[in-house]
Amino acid sequence: MAHFPPGYLIGHASDHVGKTGCTVILPPPGTIAAVDVRGGAPGTRETGVFTPGNLVSEIHALVLTGGSAFGLAAADGVSRWLREKGIGFSIGPARVPIVAAAVLFDLAVGDPEAYPDAAMGSRACDAAAEREIESGRVGAGTGATVGKILGIEHSHPGGVGASEIVLPGGERVCALAAVNAFGDVVDPETGQVLAGATRNGAFLETERALREEPLADSPLASGHTTLLCVATTVPFDTASLKRVAIEAHDGVARAVRPTHTVVDGDVVFALAPAGAAPSVLTRLRVGSAAARAAAEAILDAVRT
């Protein structure tokens, strides 16, 4: 199990009957965010806020959720929970919580009428704590599956995974992934498929099948997605942090094959304390660590 940096609270809410859920990340005050969307079928909330140069860069909560677009309702509960505690961006007499969210499609796994709502988002906040992150089929990963080129019945369980890396100066780079990919999860070091589509008891190898098989009956339009949050203790400005989100996608591509497809909704959020742009060496180190942590979190999701 892995930890996020000090001050981060992580909470899961899971519906093991309907096979869906959400995961909430509550960062410490003064945390900023950047986001990079690479999938062809994303479902998101408030991702445009974090464009460099915009008015607001601070983030008060991040929600990773099942339920496809319906699951965005969980963010309403998170926003209400934060508002009741007086947390938000101050605008005149009001405080408006900045709550970003991204969804994955799990409606074909359990009850298609079950999806995270505001009450579930609030429960995830209540459960949020600064502790080791629970991995596996919990929170946003409750109904997640991997390798769906032949349909859900030939897929492998996905889930939530986490990883952390310590840099030479003691700085930390951590990742949390919700893995519901169209492609297979592959160990980048060995090339071994750890989770993916199966046929006759063996892994199909999705990349190979796409190149070599007719696949006329494949339900390619089924919902997929890998969602990722990378958090570092290194202070960043918004523009430099955007590059960390971009580089973290390299880790997604190493561990999920194929990835960033037209039927995936792959999104990476990067979180850091607000500050000046770090040195080039530091930026390179954090970017490299973000990619490594992303891949390790994805492997953790299916190994758990």
E strand or H helix at 167, and its extent?
Answer: none
CB 244 within 8 Å of CB 34: yes
Consecutive 10-residue runs of the chain (304 residues): their mean pLDDT?
Answer: 91 97 98 96 93 91 97 98 95 91 94 95 97 95 95 94 96 98 96 94 93 83 88 97 98 97 95 96 97 98 91
pLDDT of residue 237: 96
Query: How many Cβ atoms sit within 10 Å of the Cβ of residue 7?
Result: 15
Q: 3-class DSSP state for residue 119? A: helix
pLDDT of residue 304: 78
pLDDT of residue 170: 95
Euclidean distance between CA atoms 84 and 32, whole angstroms? 21
Cα–Cα nearest to 302, from 180, 140, 202, 173: 180
∠ CA 201-260-106, nearest 5°, is 60
E strand or H helix at 304, and its extent?
Answer: none
Amino acid at 126: D
* Extents of the domains making up the chain: 9-303
Euclidean distance between CA atoms 156 and 203, whole angstroms? 10
9-303: which CATH architecture?
4-Layer Sandwich (3.60)
Euclidean distance between CA atoms 178 and 158, whole angstroms? 8
pLDDT of residue 217: 75
pLDDT of residue 10: 98
Only one residue has tokens 């840099």, namely 167
CB 56 within 8 Å of CB 49: yes
pLDDT of residue 29: 96
pLDDT of residue 244: 98
pLDDT of residue 221: 63
